[in-house]
Amino acid sequence: MRARDLFIAAFLLSQLLLPLRWYALRDPGDPYDERFAWRMFSPERMVRCSAQAQLNGAPLELGRRFHSAWITLVERGRMDVVYAVVDRICLTEPGGDLRMRLSCLEIDGEQRTLIEPTTNLCAETP
């Protein structure tokens, strides 16, 4: 019976510490990540982003290459998903010139640009 009590206590403690770790060590480069936010009241949910991409100088329609769930997360400004999209494109297009603009409209009406199309993102990918 003691082992079961310890297991339950450890499980409950882990359920508290994982979200707290996210809040304490939150990546400032990903301002719209809301994995542990109380989404009903989260201002991150209201942010709308748009991503325009060009591959080798031609417009790239991300919706044709990626599932709609990925596109939804890109449109919410989730930088880990944006970087995964970039990595996937660069993997399938070796030597490609990928440029992207990711800009978000925040709830206060301010436009914030997270990625500028000034550099080749595939050249920055290892």
Instruction: Kindly list the domain boundaries of the chain, sorted by start residue.
Output: 31-124
In terms of Cα–Cα distance, which of 25, 45, 21 is closest to 33?
Answer: 45
Half-sphere exposure of 29 (CA within 13 A, CB side): 6
Mean pLDDT for the chain overall? 83
- The whole-angstrom separation of Cα 46 and Cα 105 is 9
At 22-71, the pLDDT tens digits run 667 766 666 666 665 655 566 666 778 899 999 999 999 999 999 999 99
Distance from C-alpha of 124 to C-alpha of 111, rounded to nearest angstrom: 25
Percent of the chain with pLDDT over 70: 78
Query: What is the percentage of the chain residues whose pLDDT exceeds 90?
Result: 39
Beta-sheet strands, E only, within 9-97 = 48-55, 58-60
